């Protein structure tokens, strides 16, 4: 049946992580669902985010150190061919053909709302009972004088390169700037990161970001903090330069802008639906992801939620269930797991700073045998524990930190105590020993100092008394 012949039970706008999950969830629930995508199926995660960036990082990690200062056109071709291959291998899973195979109807085109429960897609009228907006976000480009003239790259457009520049200026100091900056430096690009803030990665705890900054500098990245680019300049020879507020000039062949993202709602015609946006441009919705229009929900990067693919996916499932079943499951912006894929990785979840009677247990990776064996001991594992021994959150810095984070995330989500975690047998030697040993450290402290310790002492003395009585009887 054509999309304009009936009101759809659910229409999902946007086929990225949130929209795909929403549509698949809706089909599992038996709904008739129409998924609309204006550009590429799979969204930012597949084409300009997680997949290409992690492919680039992996290839940079494998680059022989002797070649990291002499990248050439052939090597660059191999790098970007590898990225294309990774995307093309995953793309079929998110294709219209795969979606139609599970009963999701698809439609390619630009969607624009025309009323509370109607829209136009490429000239077709589409009516719906409920809808989910999952149109994601896109890079925000600051209005720095001269920036447009130097043809800046963003996290969306950098993948169009087929040659690596000799010198690159990166504006911004967040996750994208650090991940791509380090990877490019390892491939031989002379990278300068410029940011107006006092330090990179402002959302991470100080010790974690200090380790990453040190690693960036070891890899040859120049980091300029507390600086502001006042103007970009391109001369007659096509050389471009960033002119800073302290008079410094930084020459570059290309500029990468990584200064944040903004919601992709400009062409949606939300005014016709009564759906509001907040002061930052994100769609306003309550914790159940319902908007001001009771027929419309929002999911993923277009909302106030953290901008991670896994958060988008979960929010898509939540929005679909709430929209179709009338449930009120909620999403929250605090405590979501996140991984920075630099070397070392930073993996964090839940509470990061202790309050009241919370305790902090930290294990330096000089005491993790796997890290010692691999001669990579600069990291640490840190957990926050409440007075009842429950793990509230933590940060892991080191190789494969993102893999260890799964266990820590489960512990936080399920309110697992350090005592329970220590009772689980762990394989040896692994980097997850850091988490286990941090739990053991706190569990032992509680045994020495708390009620559990006093009870153990009483039981020990009682067992000793009974043992002595048994000896006397014999």
Binding site residue list for NAD(+): 172-179, 260
CA angle in degrees (0–180, nearest 5) for 45-303-51: 5
DSSP 188-209: T-EEEEE-SSSSS-TTS-HHHH
Q: What is the DSSP letter of 130?
A: E
Compute the 3-state secondary structure of the chain and give helix, strand, coil in percent, each to the nearest 5. Answer: 40, 25, 40
> What CA–CA distance (Å, rounded) separates 224 from 206?
17
* Backbone phi, psi, residue 39, to 5°: -130, -95
**Coil, strand or helix at 335:** coil
Query: Which pair of tokens denotes residue 145?
Result: 């004088």
Residues contributing to the annotated binding site for FAD: 54, 135-137, 301
Question: Any residues with CB less than 8 A from the CB of 35 and at least 6 apart, and which?
Answer: 11, 12, 15, 19, 20, 23, 99, 104, 105, 106, 107
Residues contributing to the annotated binding site: 54, 135-137, 172-179, 260, 301
> What CA–CA distance (Å, rounded) separates 103 from 23?
10
**Residue for token pair 């976000």:** 137
Question: Any residues with CB less than 8 A from the CB of 424 and at least 6 apart, and which?
Answer: none
> What CA–CA distance (Å, rounded) separates 34 from 21?
13
Tally Cβ neighbours within 10 Å of residue 453: 14
Question: Any residues with CB less than 8 A from the CB of 189 and at least 6 apart, and which?
Answer: 71, 164, 165, 166, 167, 168
Query: Quick one: 46 exposed, middle or buried, by C-beta within 10 A (0-12, 13-18, 19+)?
Result: buried
> What CA–CA distance (Å, rounded) separates 426 from 370?
13
**Coil, strand or helix at 324:** helix
Q: Is the separation of the CB atoms in 219 and 137 below 8 Å? A: no
């Amino acid at each position: 049946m054509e999309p304009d012949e009936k009101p759809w039970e659910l229409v999902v706008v946007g086929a990225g992580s949130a929209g795909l999950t929403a549509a698949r969830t809706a089909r599992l629930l038996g709904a008739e669902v129409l998924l609309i995508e204006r550009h590429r199926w799979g969204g930012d995660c597949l084409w300009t985010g997680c997949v290409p960036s992690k492919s680039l990082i992996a290839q940079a990690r494998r680059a022989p150190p002797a070649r990291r200062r002499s990248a050439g056109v052939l090597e660059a071709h191999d790098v970007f061919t590898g990225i294309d291959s990774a995307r093309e291998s995953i793309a079929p899973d998110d294709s219209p053909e795969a979606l139609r195979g599970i009963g999701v109807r698809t439609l390619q085109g630009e969607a624009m709302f025309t009323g509370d429960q109607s829209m136009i897609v490429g000239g077709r009228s589409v009516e719906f009972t409920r809808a989910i907006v999952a149109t994601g976000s896109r890079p925000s480009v600051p209005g720095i004088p001269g920036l447009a003239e130097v043809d800046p790259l963003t996290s969306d457009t950098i993948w169009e390169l087929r040659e690596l520049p000799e010198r690159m200026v990166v504006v911004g100091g967040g996750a994208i700037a650090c991940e791509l900056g380090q990877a490019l430096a390892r491939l031989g690009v002379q990278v300068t990161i410029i940011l107006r803030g006092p330090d990179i990665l402002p959302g991470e705890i100080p010790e974690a970001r200090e380790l990453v900054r040190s690693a960036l500098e070891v890899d040859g990245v120049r980091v300029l903090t507390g600086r502001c680019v006042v103007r970009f300049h391109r001369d007659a020879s096509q050389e471009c330069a960033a002119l800073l507020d302290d008079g410094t000039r930084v020459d570059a062949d290309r500029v990468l802008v990584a200064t944040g993202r903004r919601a992709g709602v400009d062409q949606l015609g939300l005014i016709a639906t009564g759906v509001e946006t907040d002061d930052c441009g994100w769609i306003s919705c309550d914790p159940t992801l319902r908007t001001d229009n009771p027929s419309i929900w929002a999911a993923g990067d277009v909302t106030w939620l953290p901008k991670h693919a896994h958060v988008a996916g979960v929010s898509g499932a939540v929005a679909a269930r709430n929209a179709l079943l009338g449930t009120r499951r909620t999403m929250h912006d605090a405590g979501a797991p996140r991984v920075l894929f630099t070397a070392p990785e930073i993996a964090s979840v839940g509470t990061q700073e202790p309050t009241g009677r919370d305790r902090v247990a930290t294990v330096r990776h000089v005491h993790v045998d796997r890290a010692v064996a691999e001669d990579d001991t600069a990291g640490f594992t840190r957990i926050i524990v409440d007075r009842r021994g429950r793990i509230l959150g933590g940060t892991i810095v080191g190789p494969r930190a993102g893999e260890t984070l799964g266990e820590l995330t489960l512990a936080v989500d399920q309110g697992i105590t350090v005592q329970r975690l220590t009772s689980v047998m762990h394989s040896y030697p692994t980097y997850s020993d850091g988490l286990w040993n941090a739990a053991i450290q706190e569990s032992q402290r509680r045994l020495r100092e708390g009620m559990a310790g006093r009870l153990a002492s009483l039981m020990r003395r009682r067992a000793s008394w009974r043992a002595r009585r048994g000896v006397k009887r014999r």
